[in-house]
Amino acid sequence: MQIDSRDRIVFAAGPFEAFIDRRQDDLRGEEVATLMVPEDRVLMGQCLKLVRRKGRASGEVVRLYRPRGAPLSMDFAGYTLDQQSFIALRLTSHRGYGARDGIPRDPQSGLLPPQAFSELASGKIKQSQETGQDFGVTVIDLPGLGGLCDRLPSPGALGLLRSVGASLRACAFDDNSATEIAQGRYGLVHDGAADLEALRHDLSEIVRQHDPDGEEGRVETSAIDLEGIDQIDEGDLAKGLIYAINQCQRADGAAISLRMLSTSIPQLVHQGINEVALFRRVVANRSFDIVLQPIVSLSTGDIHHYEALCRFDSSRPDLSPYRAITFAEETGLIHDFDLAMAEKVLGWLSGKPRNSDAYRVAVNISGFSIGVDSYVKGLLDLLRAEPWTKGKMLFEITESSKMTDLDSANSFIGSLRDSGYQVCLDDFGAGAASFQYLSALEVDVVKIDGSAVRNAMRGPKGLAFLSALTELCRRLGVTTIAEMIDTKESLDFVRSCGCDFVQGYLFGRPSADLKSFQPLPNLGLLRGSPDRLRGRAGLS
Ligand code: C2E
Ligand code: MG
Ligand code: MG
């Protein structure tokens, strides 16, 4: 299509009749945006603006309105030559932003998640430093965006976020240099000559078009001073950036002013880099501890095995490692740690009698680690070299949502099981996709997350749901463990739901000393007559 300076069609060619029930000749004089679904009209206007301003633009997906049938998603491309603008719309071959170029994007805005952004952005920052290219990093705030999204009906909110995303990406170095830091707050790596004033204007205009009567169009930008980062190596810079962005997300976004943020990001980057170095040292020196917590059979009251949990402060065995583990996952350090933990547990087991069943330990593996070849190889080599660990070590996969490739995760799980190690799916019920993982992955055990047990106890349907889950597992030949059992009520509840094993403070807090579980606290509670005791224990 050729379009004039007011976005009207001068000339159109293509199968419009088949697509939108319109003859191409009838389109002359019509505003291009009106051919789109209402939510994408602002986005289309934005695309055309960029075509004129930058000479060319592409990469957006817009949806053609059809009087009969569902909208058609089209790839947009356009260029301007000798003051004449031309655009092409082609049926898209990908479904939304999420599936593009193999890099996961936010499906609404098409922006990169902080981790991918940090890695790509730090590469670009380094590259531009080496080539002497002028670049900038800017944080952009749209303070009214969150409130406006809440007020708009969901297609309108989606259209708004897509238009905001399109403007940001158009101003960034390239498609991969913009991210959402928190709601209404974005990070951008851009060319030193980028026209940030035009971006501010566009964003303000986009918000205003979605909210003509409101006053939400305020846009603030703040350049980040990255002095000193030229000393930092690219990998560490990426990790530092991830850390900084995550800290900003964790803090109440609205509470940190933009000015504070732009001065604190470089500090946060440095702080992140220091924490990375510290964590690496802890892993290299194996300077962390293991505490153990028993997994108790509901049919016999016996301890089947212990879960090994790491601790980073030996004086505080109750201090959760959760923050450090999350940090290691976010910054790509977790696989080294998971391997170190497996080695440490193996070392602990090697000091115990080999002919006893009293020492079996489950080791946690983050879903992130499963995607790392060096981890998979490292663990399998380690186990191959110590075949006596068969049946003495089990593995729990935590953070399953971080597994990117379920087929390769399944083949890793298969290798462990074929070698004689049982595998458990941890945190079941904590995320939306639990059933998908249960169906896709061949595991021996499912560990029902403490939050799922608590939720089930709250409502009248909970008992039915949890009972159905244990029944499903039974049919699949999968054993169930209920986690965070810390009261008699929760114990009775999971028993009546048909769970096979329990773990929780009721039977001991995690401890470095197995004597804490001899005798097992509250064992008497298991002697009562449970509603549905089935007397089966699938763990070998
Ligand atoms: P998880 O694997 O689901 O571990 C169970 C958590 O529940 C542990 O928290 C445990 O101390 C806690 N817990 C046990 N019984 C109860 C109870 O009755 N009530 C309550 N409120 N909590 C209970 P912890 O030790 O803080 O670990 C938190 C998470 O950190 C673990 O969750 C796991 O995801 C991760 N983690 C711990 N050690 C490792 C490790 O070596 N490697 C990896 N990748 N992750 C680990
Ligand atoms: Mg676990
Ligand atoms: Mg768990």
Mean pLDDT for all residues in the chain: 88
Summarize pLDDT for 486-528 with one digit per residue, the tens: 999 999 999 999 999 999 999 999 999 999 999 999 999 987 6
Q: Which of 442, 406, 405, 447 is nearest to 421 (CA)?
A: 442
pLDDT category at 260 given cuts 50, 70, 90 is low
Closest residue by CA, ligand 1 atom 3: 427
Please state the rounded mean pLDDT for residues 303-332. Answer: 93
Per DSSP, 88 falls in state E
pLDDT category at 337 given cuts 50, 70, 90 is very high
Summarize pLDDT for 169-201 with one digit per residue, the tens: 888 887 778 888 878 888 888 888 889 999 999
d(CA 395, CA 426): 9
Q: Check residue 533 and give its pLDDT.
A: 40
Q: Check residue 535 and give its pLDDT.
A: 44
d(CA 5, CA 86): 11
Closest residue by CA, ligand 1 atom 23: 484
Q: Which residues of 84-99 are buried (b: 16+ CB within 10 A; e: fewer)?
A: ebbbebeebeeeebee
286-527 CATH, one of 3.30.300.30, 3.40.50.720, 3.20.20.450, 3.50.50.60: 3.20.20.450
Alpha helices (runs of H) in 285-387, residue ranges in sequence order: 322-330, 334-350, 367-370, 373-385
Please state the rounded mean pLDDT for residues 464-491. Answer: 96
Please state the rounded mean pLDDT for residues 240-246. Answer: 81
Which has the higher per-residue pLDDT, 222 or 251? 222
Q: Is the pLDDT of residue 265 over 90?
A: no
Please state the rounded mean pLDDT for residues 328-342. Answer: 94
Q: For 57-61, 246-250, 418-422, which range has the lowest pLDDT when averaged over its residues?
A: 246-250
CA 118 to chain centre: 14
d(CA 34, CA 436): 40
Q: Check residue 528 and give its pLDDT.
A: 65
User: Which of 127-136, 148-157, 441-450, 527-536 is modeled with the greatest confidence?
Assistant: 441-450
Please state the rounded mean pLDDT for residues 470-475. Answer: 96
One-letter identity of residue 339: L
Q: Check residue 532 and give its pLDDT.
A: 45
Q: Is the pLDDT of residue 229 over 50?
A: yes
Q: Is the pLDDT of residue 99 over 50?
A: no
Question: Is the CA virtual torsion 24, 25, 29, 30 positive or negative?
Answer: negative
- The fold of 114-277 is Alpha-Beta Plaits (3.30.70)
User: Which residues face 80 on adjacent strands?
Assistant: 85
Centre of ligand 3 from the C-alpha of residue 434, in Å: 13
Q: Check residue 317 and give its pLDDT.
A: 86
Please state the rounded mean pLDDT for residues 390-398. Answer: 97
Ligand 1: list residues with CB < 6 Å: 293, 309-310, 320-322, 325, 334, 338, 341, 364, 366, 396, 398, 426-427, 450, 483-486, 503-505, 510
Relative to beta strand 361-366, strand 303-311 is: parallel
pLDDT category at 286 given cuts 50, 70, 90 is very high
Centre of ligand 3 from the C-alpha of residue 451, in Å: 9
Closest residue by CA, ligand 1 atom 7: 484
Centre of ligand 3 from the C-alpha of residue 510, in Å: 13
pLDDT category at 404 given cuts 50, 70, 90 is confident
Which has the higher per-residue pLDDT, 268 or 286? 286
Summarize pLDDT for 107-123 with one digit per residue, the tens: 778 888 877 888 877 88
Q: Is the pLDDT of residue 460 over 50?
A: yes
Where are the domains positioned within the chain? 2-91, 114-277, 286-527
Please state the rounded mean pLDDT for residues 85-111. Answer: 74
pTM of the predicted model as reported, rounded to 2 decimal places = 0.77
- The fold of 2-91 is Beta-Lactamase (3.30.450)
Q: Which residues of 373-389 are buried (b: 16+ CB within 10 A; e: fewer)?
A: eebbebbeeebeeeeeb
Centre of ligand 3 from the C-alpha of residue 377, in Å: 25
